[in-house]
Structure 1
């Protein structure tokens, strides 16, 4: 039989300090650019997670940023006076706040799942090794062979004692026979006397 082999190595996530540093850097870049570089957070998140949802959100943020830049660029002066300018500014700042919240939550959740998966794969499987059983959870009681059982330990199986056979009838003792014979002789002598026979006429 072949074993299960060695588990495939799992890629370890970067250190927490590096991840926090990268999150701060991308958030600060987006804020300092007044939202024009918000798409950088979504680009990094899509590259890290490789999810189609994050790639779709990245494309949507790029489109919204371009639209906001067009609306703000349509203002005739340096200050915002038209509805188009205010709409562009609202899109820019609203997208910035929403993307920061989503980026931080998704990035933290992604690397937490990576750490949990790496920890689960780091424990070696115990294939083919017998598991030690606690004596307090055993369901069977070991039976001691009769040869190894101490003399004072009673047997677990009680056998009734064999029935005592009835003693055979005993023959009367010789003294009893002699006594009976003597009584018969006396009775015979008594009868002879009653008949008037002499004692010697047997």
Structure 2
């Protein structure tokens, strides 16, 4: 009588054109600021995915940008001449490169999984209420045949043996030629006798 209630509808991902526009916009902010705002794409990624890893990378990128600003600000002139200045530039450009690549890969993967949800292999799907679920079979891994390996011998079926108590069948015997001649001669005699008997009766 009481059901589970209405489930929350799954929000469809934004159109592909809007996603491409947002990616170009946030990467443009990071690149045109020469890495000083390399944390901006990672902030958008953390808000979208809500993963602790993405929040941690956003904080790390923000800290790297602040540190590079401090190192570059400690230079005595406009040109970079000290090791701290070179470290600040390396940190700035490294954060820009790594953050941009990670942002693109993670953002594409996240929205691809939203658009095409798939169940992991070997894990059963969620059971519907009131219906028993059969376990999902896991396919066996494919093993390619080895051409050098010889195939196993085919089993041979033994020929059927006759029972031990029955004698073996004998081939049919033909009558000897002498027996045929003897029968023929007796028939000739019988026909002569009958012929004579018929003539005597007349």
TMscore range, shorter length: 0.5 to 0.7
**Partners in 1 of 2:39 and 2:6 — Cα distance?**
41
Q: C-alpha offsets along residues 125-158 of structure 1, whole Å, 9 cap, x if unaligned? A: 9x99xxxxxxxxxxxxxxxxxxxxxxxxxxxxxx
RMSD across aligned positions (CA): 2.2
State the match for 1:103 in structure 2.
Answer: 103
If asked which structure has higher relative contact order (CA below 8 Å, sep 6+), I would say 1
Greater C-alpha Rg: 1
Q: What is the CA-CA distance between 1:30 and the residue it aligns to?
A: 0.6
State the match for 2:9 in structure 1.
Answer: 9
- Provide the TM-score with structure 2 as the length reference: 0.55
State the match for 1:112 in structure 2.
Answer: 112
- Provide the TM-score with structure 1 as the length reference: 0.55
Structure 2, unpaired ranges of 5+: 119-127, 132-202
Change (3 A) 1:65 1:35: same
**Partners in 2 of 1:61 and 1:90 — Cα distance?**
13
Secondary structure of the structure 1 residue equivalent to 2:117: helix
- The aligned runs of 1:135-154 (5 Å cut-off) are none
Structure 1, unpaired ranges of 5+: 119-124, 129-202
- The aligned runs of 1:1-202 (5 Å cut-off) are 8-117=8-117
